[in-house]
Structure 1
């Protein structure tokens, strides 16, 4: 059976709500994911999983949140070949680059050999009821991509 880890950072709870819905979808699809806040893990742990989903809010004008900076740097030391990857996050469209953290993390995962199986999922601020359903479907679709 495939193994999946979901690692996220959330300041206001928006990205955590997305993570909760995505993991609910993963569970509905029959896999029990490991879920961790980014401060409670390190990048080398990603190598132990078949599927990797990262989630981060975008800070300021298009930056990773501070909580993700050390993890991001540690990613330079890992090999993610044969791993399936996806990234999600919340953002605020009043800034020049909407959801840039999703793009930054996705690019780094691909640089380290990960195979992107879903486009990045970006949601404006907190997810609506419909967007939570989109997140659940995102988790299910990720599991399907591992088959």
Structure 2
């Protein structure tokens, strides 16, 4: 059985919703999933999962969540060359060019760790609606498919 670890950072609750949807999607694919809040998680915990997911918000001016800075800085230092990763996040298109840039920055940090991207990143505007839930379910399914077929 594949294992997954979903880590989230949230202020409004939207990214916890995103993490919950991804967790449910992974469980529906037969994964054993752990879901934790980013400030309560060490990046090295990803070493024990087959699939690693971060769901984070972007703060003022494109900044990363303050409570997740240590996690973000540690992530590229962890050898995740045997893991598959995915990144999803809720943001607000009001911020223009800064919309959900944390998703891109976490994806880059995962790549530095040696992890393999299992599905394209998902960016959601505000609270996830039904179309977003469908996209996140497809995201979870693709992560599992990638993890089941290592290069």
Q: Decide: shared fold, TM above 0.5.
A: yes
- The question of whether the paired residues in 2 share the 8 Å contact of 1:23 and 1:136 is answered with no
Structure 2 runs not aligned, ≥5 long: none
Aligned to 1:118: 119
4+ runs of 1 displaced by more than 3 Å?
none
Secondary structure of residue in 2 paired with 1:35: strand
Aligned to 1:64: 64
The alignment's TM-score, normalised by the length of structure 2, stands at: 0.92
1:74 paired to 2:66? no
Considering Cα pairs closer than 8 Å and 6+ residues apart, tell me whether 1 or 2 has the greater RCO: 1
Number of residue pairs matched by the alignment: 147
CA distance in 2, matches of 1:134, 1:75: 26
- The question of whether the paired residues in 2 share the 8 Å contact of 1:3 and 1:50 is answered with yes
- The question of whether the paired residues in 1 share the 8 Å contact of 2:89 and 2:123 is answered with yes
Q: Which moved more, 1:64-73 or 1:133-142?
A: 133-142
Structure 1 runs not aligned, ≥5 long: none
CA distance in 2, matches of 1:2, 1:27: 10
Q: Which moved more, 1:134-143 or 1:61-70?
A: 134-143
Matches within 5 A, 1:82-97: 82-95=82-95, 96-97=97-98
The alignment's TM-score, normalised by the length of structure 1, stands at: 0.94
Shift of 1:91: 1.1
Secondary structure of residue in 2 paired with 1:122: strand
Shift of 1:48: 1.4
1:143 paired to 2:109? no
- The question of whether the paired residues in 2 share the 8 Å contact of 1:88 and 1:121 is answered with yes
Shift of 1:140: 2.0
Residues 28-64 of structure 1 show CA distances to partners (whole Å, capped at 9, x for unaligned) of 1111211111111101111111111111011112111
If each structure's helix is expressed as a fraction of its own residues, which one has the higher value? 2
Residues 87-142 of structure 1 show CA distances to partners (whole Å, capped at 9, x for unaligned) of 00011112132110000000000011011121110000111122122212221221
